[in-house]
Amino acid sequence: MENELELVTSLSEQELEALANSVLDPSAQSRLDTLLEKKSDGLLTAFELSELDALLSQVDQLTILKTRSRFTLQQHAKAAGA
């Protein structure tokens, strides 16, 4: 199966760079680390498990956006070099 990424066309190159290099908010990252540790120890409540799932979904979405931004930047570079 061919895996094609969509270009991010509505952002400038500077915005694409910023997005490609973005990270999870420090407070969200700290909470994610705490929840992952509690899960590892078998101490998560049902509410915390739901919170962990939501944070992991957020991380997944950020990863997709970062990947699309990097891909778009690569395509811009190829087009500029052509």
Query: What's the per-residue H, E or C state across 33-78?
Result: HHHHHHHHCCCCCHHHHHHHHHHHHHHHHHHHHHHHHHHHHHHHHH
In a domain, 81, yes or no: yes
Tokens of 25: 């908010």
Tell me which residue has tokens 């509505």: 10
Q: Which pLDDT value is given to residue 39?
A: 98
In a domain, 65, yes or no: yes
**Domain of 51?**
44-82
In a domain, 74, yes or no: yes
In a domain, 31, yes or no: no
In a domain, 50, yes or no: yes
30-45 pLDDT tens trace: 999 999 999 999 999 9
Q: Which pLDDT value is given to residue 5?
A: 76
First to last CA, the chain: 28
Nearest to 54 by CA among 39, 32, 21: 32
6-36 pLDDT tens trace: 999 999 999 999 999 999 999 999 999 999 9
In a domain, 8, yes or no: no
**For the residues 56-77, what does the mean pLDDT come to?**
96
Whether the per-residue pLDDT at 3 is higher than 90: the answer is no
In a domain, 11, yes or no: no
In a domain, 56, yes or no: yes
Q: Which pLDDT value is given to residue 1?
A: 32
How far is CA 5 from its chain centroid? 14
Q: Which pLDDT value is given to residue 2?
A: 41
With beta carbons less than 8 A apart as the criterion, state whether 10 and 69 touch.
Answer: no
Please tell me the total count of domains within the chain. Answer: 1
